[in-house]
Structure 1
Amino acid sequence: MKLTIIGGGGFRVPQIFQAVSDPAARLRIDELCLFDVDASRIDAIRAVISDLAKTMAHPVRVTSTVDLAESVRGADFVFSAMRVGGIAGRMLDERVALDLGVLGQETIGPGGLAYALRTLPHARDLARMVRDIAPQAWVINFTNPAGLVTEAMREILGDRVTGICDTPIGLMRRATRVAGHRPEEVTFDYVGLNHLGWLRSLTVDGRDVLPEILGDESRLAQIEEARVLGLDWVRALGALPNEYLFYYYRTREAVTRIRGAEQTRGQYLAAKQGEFYGADPNLESWSRTLHDREASYMGESREAGDLHGRNIEDVENGGYQQVALDLMTALTGGPAATMILNVGNDSLDGPRLVPELPENAVVEVPCTVDTDGIHPHRVAAIEGDMLGLMVQVKASEQLVLRASLERSSELAWRAFAGHPLVDSSIVAGQLLEEYQSRIPGVAAALGG
């Protein structure tokens, strides 16, 4: 079985190698193929993988190429983990917005829209390549903004592509742990978009235990998302929010903290990962950089002097590589799995999963995965402020998709102006102008 990683020189690729080489893994990959447009990054990651392989009884065979067609041909699974524009693009995604007084973040708000604009043409090219030369393959999309990119790829690949993120299932596991149960003992209701969703029930033996967690301050404080958003606010919501909702519910605080920091997240990663790629890459330097990277994740969401920080169990238990491995295992004959995935709103026969959103919208909901495919669960109705936020963000995303297809700056302007984190159509126009002038991929995507 062949697994191809698009973006095979990415920093987190060794984690995937570890997951698929684990002797406890129920899925056996025969070939892990790394594709990247930058051969030097592949070489760096292969050096780390070579060190890892020395510690393993049966490491997966690794190949690499800078030829996209060669990487995709014969693949059973394709992971899309591309970063168009590299870390330099990410820094501009953040900085352009911050300089205009707007949230600057990689996937949320205008930074995410700029990232999407330059990425969508390449995501569609990959989807067409898979359709034409590896139609049997499943595509698992990690590329951010994951819901939006998955939606574009579904136009070409349909149900053969899904998007994954480890934050929703991590939230469910944290809540389950606090409830004193194991994940296999609970059922749950989660609904939203990628990086915008809520865990609304956690049921054990027919009884929803989530209200008990919300009502118990000591237990609620053990859940990082509740600490980040504030215990009182989480109780007012009556649900546990995805950690990325920090940027929507506490926008002012987020902008203030990011602007007050010595460097943005993108600048921090550029420095840390630059040291890794620019020196003599090896397992020790990679492990050290990985620890620093994970421990500092979403640092702006925590108060200065917060003694909790990130729970080490949250950092190490079940990252995105484990979610992907569970998904592949279930699709290829292993035990069925329940996970939270990005799927089409029309993926079930009958009514849409979220009736208020378009049929072609990608939503994030619980799914059962088995050899017959991915089966979304019907979710409870969503209404009020949660629904309003989902509708507004999805409308902005779909305008970006149209802008990309039609190469329309006007549609892109509307997408920026319609996003809930952009408070002025004038600022929206300035954002778009700056992104086009400073990031070549954005200008090219819109015909510039």
Structure 2
Amino acid sequence: MACKIAIIGGGSAYAPGLINAFIQHAADFDGAELALMDIASPELEIVQQLGQRLAAAAGANLTITATTDQQVAIAGADYVLTTFRQGGFQARRLDERIPLHFGVIGQETIGPGGFFFAMRTLPVIKRIVADMARLAPGAVLVNYTNPTQIVAEAVTHFSRVPCIAICDQSQDDARKLRHALAMPEATIELESIGLNHATWSTRFTINGEDGVAVMMRHSDAVLARGDVSARVKRQFRLTREYGRLPNSYLQYYYYREETVAEALAEPQTRAEEILEALPGYYAHFREQIAAAVPHLTHGRGGSIFGDMAVEVLRGLVRGEGAIHTLNVPNRTALPDFAPDRVVEVTARLERTGATPLVQERLPATVVGLLHMLAEYQWLAAESIWHDDPPAMTRALAANPLVLSLPLAQQLLDASRRAQV
């Protein structure tokens, strides 16, 4: 289908993997324009040139354009994919470092770090949806920008732009489970519900067998291995405790002291590690531009990132009712949550949106924390969208990792001072 897909953040190190995934499904996007937009013009030019070389080598009928003008990219688009990082990794470094000074985990999507990230992200999202309403009426926003749930809460409440928010964490968790279980070729079927980065499995099999039973059979061996991360080991411990597979991010709530101590002991934050690695990614991209036959061997996010985004866009373009796990307004799908609250749930894609599928209730042992997170994320979206500082303090105080008005104010003050 000949369509225009604007990609906001098209110069990132993620973008080549995304373009590569479009190329793998070129038949479904025949004649499409991928309109890359980024404020980082040198990186944008590299990604465009690499994308053009990759598409030409594969014989894919895709036009790859590039611009630093957001309105040019959005004008006439059928779909807008947001995958930008406002403030870059230097800002993420502060999101990770500042909370640790107060004994709270520093992370890019949850806790205070996620709130700081949302404070930078939502003003940009507000401009994007305004441009979409004016220049691409009827276009669907597919959001991959974190914190994705707060973004989706804001857009679905304060804009008429159709919005689907996506996250590949469950796929990444499944990949790491295969490694932990020493079953690299295992077929894992996983359906989880809840909130972004806070889901519990409702259907989980490994090679057709109950996945929890498989994990428990291997649990002692996994916990004893030195090549399995503490994060994955905590997933095994939580699975044993609750009888369901948790999203790996739930470790930050259920093992709060452990994860803070671990982060404080690390010589670098994740953002600092990425900042060191980024030049190597772009060096590889430049090498492949000059290669006789370009071949993408590494980039940020691996193949999962591009694959999921393109699968969702493919489902929208084809309109054949494909089922994916998405972040969308609940309606009546999850009986534990309000109809207008954004939830992560299996949903059926149509050409202009997605319909969440009705699920059973989660047990009381896990749903209480999710209720707190759902209301916090709504309060965060509302207060940041309306630029209301007192409301921002109250919203951050409602975060389960904060739960203190004085602490929330101290965190916000520290973040604002660091951004000056």
User: What TM-score comes out, normalization by structure 2 length?
Assistant: 0.85
SS at match of 1:106: coil
Counterpart contact for 1:225–1:243, Cα < 8 Å? no
Q: Deviations over 1:241-300 (max 9, x none)?
A: 11211222222222222221221111111222145559984439996763xx65xxxxxx
Residues 17 and 60, structure 1, Cα contact 8 Å, conserved in 2? no
1:325 maps onto 2:325 in alignment = no
Distance 1:180 1:169, change over 3 A: same
> 1:126 corresponds to which residue?
128
Aligned residue runs from structure 1 range 228-243, under 5 A? 228-243=233-248
Aligned-pair distance for 1:43?
Answer: 1.6
1:215-266, Cα deviation, whole Å (9 max, x unpaired): 4327995998994325343122111111211222222222222221221111
1:284 & 1:243 partners in 2: Cα distance?
37
Range with greater deviation from structure 2 (411-420 or 143-152): 411-420
Letter in 2 for 1:256: A
Q: Which amino acid in 2 is paired with 1:213?
A: V
Whether the 8 Å CA contact 1:96–1:434 is kept in 2: the answer is: yes
SS in 1 for 2:35: strand
Aligned to 1:310: none
Give the superposition deviation at 1:64: 0.9
Structure 2 residue runs without a partner (length 5+): none
Aligned-CA RMSD value: 3.4
Match among 248, 251, 255 for residue 246 of structure 1: 251
Asked whether 1:425 is paired with 2:401, we answer no
* Number of aligned residues: 406
Distance 1:35 1:123 in 2: 14
Which amino acid in the other structure matches residue 82 of structure 2? S
The answer on whether the counterparts of 2:144 and 2:165 sit within 8 Å (CA) in structure 1 is yes
State whether residues 131 and 156 of structure 1, in contact with CA within 8 Å, keep that contact through their aligned partners in structure 2. Answer: no
Match of residue 198 from structure 1: 200
Partner of 1:379: 359
Aligned residues of 1:26 and 1:334 also touching (Cα < 8 A):
no
CA shift at 1:405, angstroms? 3.4
**Structure 1 position 406 matched with structure 2 position 382:** no
Aligned counterpart, 1:273: 278
**Hey, what's the Cα distance between the residues in 2 that align with 1:179 and 1:162?**
31
The C-alpha deviation readout for 1:37-70, integer Å capped at 9, x for no partner, is 2222212322433453453222622111122111
SS at match of 2:65: strand
Map of 2:141 onto structure 1: 139
**CA distance in structure 2 between the aligned counterparts of 1:336 and 1:164, rounded to whole angstroms:** 17
- Report which stretch shifted further, 214-223 or 113-122: 214-223
Secondary structure of the residue aligned to 2:192 is strand
- Partner-residue secondary structure (3-state), 1:324: helix
Distance 2:31 2:14 in 1: 18
SS class of match (2:257)? helix
- CA displacement at 1:72 relative to structure 2: 0.7
- For the residue of structure 1 that corresponds to 2:201, the secondary structure is strand
Q: Which residue of 1 aligns with 2:328?
A: 343
**C-alpha contact 2:14 2:305 (8 A) present in aligned 1:** no
Q: Which residue of 2 aligns with 1:81?
A: 83
Is 1:397 aligned to 2:382, yes or no? no
Normalised by the length of structure 1, the TM-score is 0.80
Residue 172 (structure 1) shift: 6.3
Contact 1:168 1:340 in 2 (8 A): no
Distance apart, 1:337 and its partner CA:
2.0
Matched to 1:106, the amino acid is E
Map Cα deviations across residues 158-199 of structure 1 (whole Å, 9 max, x no partner): 57210011112455688899799867xx6x652111111111
Secondary structure of 1:241 counterpart: coil
Q: Tell me which residue corresponds to 1:91.
A: 93
Report if aligned partners of 2:50, 2:285 keep a CA contact under 8 Å in 1.
no
Q: CA 1:57–1:284 in structure 2 vs 1: closer, same or farther (change >3 Å)?
A: closer
